[in-house]
Amino acid sequence: MSQGKPVPIQSLAELNELFKSTTYVAIDFYADWCGPCKAIAPPLERLAEKHSLPGLFAVAKVNVDHARDVARHYNISAMPTFLFFKEGRQVGVHGSPYIQGANLPALEAAVEKLGKLAAQKQMQAASL
């Protein structure tokens, strides 16, 4: 995983590998033809650059037309949809199990929260 860049996911196997190696994961389910997906991509990239920490927090991107098994597994029916995970288990952030649509304030709040949790975990590990 390259730090700061969203991780492209092509299959459930790739996603499971990311879950094994990374504590917190935010996933963007998108489609190339989706206008709101294109609009939110640059801000999401900036959030990934700011908050990604190797082994602790990653932003992943799943193209629903190319990784249909992943989209089907999570019952994705609208794009963009954002899901959040801790240790491979889906978690809610700020009381919501997911974000649907290009809701930048909600996405920023969720990614920043996970990024802060990852940074705290990094600091705790460094102080041991």
Q: How far is CA 94 from CA 21, 55, 97, 99, 110, in A?
A: 24, 23, 9, 10, 7
Q: Which residues are catalytic?
A: 34, 37
Burial 97-127 (b: 16+ CB within 10 A, else e): ebbbebbeebbeebbebbbebbeebbeeeee
Per DSSP, the chain holds a count of helices (H) and strands (E) of 4, 6
